[in-house]
Amino acid sequence: MGKINCEIHGENVIALISEYHHERMGIGKKCKLSEVKTIIVDDKEGLFNGHYQVDPYLIREIGIQNSRIDVQSDFKKYELMFNKLSPVCPMCLKEYLSKI
């Protein structure tokens, strides 16, 4: 995990968010609750486990089902999703999500 230096909040460990939300955060726009979807990444080997906040458009594009990616059977989907995530300040993300 890398670090991010936020103008407002200083240095923090980066959080990841999909490009759609990244863009809205950047221009100070709100999103709807229905546009925030949590994807659970399930890896039996324990390397890629995690939760990621994305948007329904990305879910549709990649074809993620049941808000879950199984790394063993769906590694390609995991890669596709991961490549579309952008690093943000975790505090800014928290504020963005609290405004919904």
| Binding stretches for Zn ion (CB under 5 A) | 6, 8-9, 89, 91-92
Ordered strands of the 37-42 beta sheet: 68-70, 37-42, 50-54, 15-18, 85-88
Closest distance to Zn ion from the beta carbon of 27 (Å): 15
CB of 60 to Zn ion, least distance (A): 29
Closest to Zn ion by CB, 6 or 14: 6
Please identify, using beta-carbon distances, which residue of 53 and 56 lies nearer to Zn ion.
53
Least distance to Zn ion, CB of residue 55, Å? 20
Give the span between the Cα atoms of 32 and 36, in whole angstroms.
7
Q: Which two tokens stand for residue 87?
A: 């690093």
Q: Any idea what DSSP says for residue 15?
A: E
56 vs 87, which CB is nearer to Zn ion? 87
**Rounded to 5 degrees, what are φ and ψ at 83?**
-65, -15
